[in-house]
Amino acid sequence: MPLARYACRMIPDPRPPGSVRPAAAINEEIRALWFRAGGVLATDVERAEYARLVVEWAAAVRVEQVGAEAA
């Protein structure tokens, strides 16, 4: 099922727009989700959370790469 259908059920992100957590922190949250789920994302809520985290992780990696290139 499309994730957009479940987006309205997701908890809003409390961070201000534009703030980015470190990719490593997001990766730990992804690992914890997989651990809690026993290696299988069986519910729509788990899959939606995973999708949100992967998008956030990718954005954090891009920010970190740009920062590394600028240094």
pLDDT tens track for 52-65: 999 999 999 999 98
Q: Which residues are CB-neighbours of 5 under 8 A, at least 6 positions away?
A: none
Give dist(CA 39, CA 24) in Å, integer.
20
Give this prediction's pTM.
0.70
25-51 pLDDT per residue, tens = 999 999 999 999 999 999 999 999 999
Please, are residues 46 and 37 in contact by the beta-carbon 8 Å criterion? yes
Supply the pLDDT for residue 2.
47
Give dist(CA 67, CA 39) in Å, integer.
33
Going by C-alpha positions, the residue among 55, 70, 71 that lies closest to residue 4 is 55
Structure tokens, 62: 């891009």
**For the chain, domain boundaries:** 39-71
